[in-house]
Copies of this chain bind each other. A is one copy, B any other.
Amino acid sequence: MAKRWAVAATDALKADGLRIGELDTSGRPGFTGDKKAGTELLAERALVLSDLQEKLYANGRSGDKRGVLLVLQGMDTAGKGGIVRHVIGSVDPQGVDHAAFGVPTPEEKRHHFLWRIRKALPRAGQLGVFDRSHYEDVLVVRVHNLVPPTVWEPRYDEINAFERELVGEGITLVKVALFISLDEQKKRLSERLNRPDKYWKFSAADIDERAFWPDYQEAYQAIVDRTSTELAPWYVLPADHKWYSRLAVTELLIDAFERLQLDWPPAKFDVEEQKRRLAQA
């Protein structure tokens, strides 16, 4: 366990039995340090993550079919983009398959909700990142009744079956839901309205969505209750402190990579013979 964690992030953040409404979004479960300690540790652990990712990539190039997929969910301004930038940004871009899922296109709408997801799955040896995901189809879709309950209700089981399939194919899922308080969101939206270099991140719809906060909490609760499985557990992250959520995601990813027990792939050639050939070439 990394230093300053009294309880490993994987244990401290597992969603089991958690009531979303009771979550302290300003908490830092498991971590005993302050912001300074957390930021320093993040820089250190980013190097560990980067090394592990390179090992996965190397194995992928050598025939290993496995991959890791980070699924990020959270309300607007919860910090998904910052995690991509500051956590995923610390590893080699060659090894990252990033996909963001917005409002479905007309073509996507004509297909099963998992169609666009399947097309974006990480390739062998890659670290996949989903900025929003198939869970939108039981979140925004459920909250706004974009389809009737008879359509979204069976999706929880479909998602579990889908994720079981992914795990069977060798993909380690790291599912992370970020939670901020309604007040913290107001602060962050306000920043976007006060800084011209942030206008582009703002949408009037983000304010509309605030009225549906309790409905979203209920929809997130359903996700945690029904799709946090042994094979693909949810991690629930208090995200009012950006430094904490970034550090926590880094630890969750490191844990996922370490469970793959990666080593450098062995040479598929006779090393001494190739050295002799190179000497003469």
Question: Measuring CB to CB, which residues of chain A are less than 8 angstroms from any residue of chain B?
Answer: 58-59, 61-62, 81, 84-85, 88-89, 91-94, 96, 98, 100, 129, 131, 186, 189-190, 193-194, 196-197, 199-202, 204, 207, 210-211, 264-269, 271, 274-275, 277-278, 281
Nearest B residue to A51 by beta-carbon distance?
B197
Q: Copy number in this complex?
A: 2
Q: Please determine whether B265 and A199 come into contact, CB atoms closer than 8 angstroms.
A: yes
Of the A-B pairs whose beta carbons lie under 8 Å apart in the complex, a sample of 11, sorted by A's number, is: A85-B93, A85-B94, A88-B93, A93-B129, A186-B278, A193-B274, A196-B266, A199-B267, A204-B269, A204-B274, A207-B277
CA distance A202 to B278 in the complex (A): 12
Q: Please determine whether A269 and B202 come into contact, CB atoms closer than 8 angstroms.
A: yes
Q: Please determine whether B94 and A81 come into contact, CB atoms closer than 8 angstroms.
A: yes
Among A199, A202, A211, the one with the most B-chain Cβ atoms within 10 Å of its Cβ is A199
Q: Please determine whether A202 and B267 come into contact, CB atoms closer than 8 angstroms.
A: yes
Residues in B with CB closer than 8 Å to A84 are: 92-94
Contacts A186-B281, A274-B207 given; indicate if A264 touches B196 (C-beta within 8 A).
yes
Q: Please determine whether A100 and B94 come into contact, CB atoms closer than 8 angstroms.
A: yes
Q: Please determine whether A274 and B202 come into contact, CB atoms closer than 8 angstroms.
A: yes
Listed from nearest, the 7 A-B pairs whose CB atoms lie closest are A58-B200, A199-B267, A210-B281, A85-B92, A197-B264, A207-B281, A200-B265
Residues in B with CB closer than 8 Å to A277 are: 204, 207
Q: Please determine whether A264 and B131 come into contact, CB atoms closer than 8 angstroms.
A: no
Smallest CB separation, A85 vs chain B (Å)? 5
CA distance A62 to B94 in the complex (A): 27
CA distance A96 to B129 in the complex (A): 13
Among A94, A211, A266, A277, the one with the most B-chain Cβ atoms within 10 Å of its Cβ is A94
CA distance A267 to B281 in the complex (A): 61
Residues in B with CB closer than 8 Å to A98 are: 93-94, 96
Q: Please determine whether B94 and A193 come into contact, CB atoms closer than 8 angstroms.
A: no
Residues in B with CB closer than 8 Å to A271 are: 193, 199
Residues in B with CB closer than 8 Å to A267 are: 196, 199, 202
Residues in B with CB closer than 8 Å to A194 are: 275
CA distance A211 to B211 in the complex (A): 69
Residues in B with CB closer than 8 Å to A200 are: 58-59, 61-62, 264-265
Q: Please determine whether A190 and B275 come into contact, CB atoms closer than 8 angstroms.
A: yes
Q: Please determine whether A278 and B193 come into contact, CB atoms closer than 8 angstroms.
A: yes
Smallest CB separation, A42 vs chain B (Å)? 16
CA distance A129 to B210 in the complex (A): 38
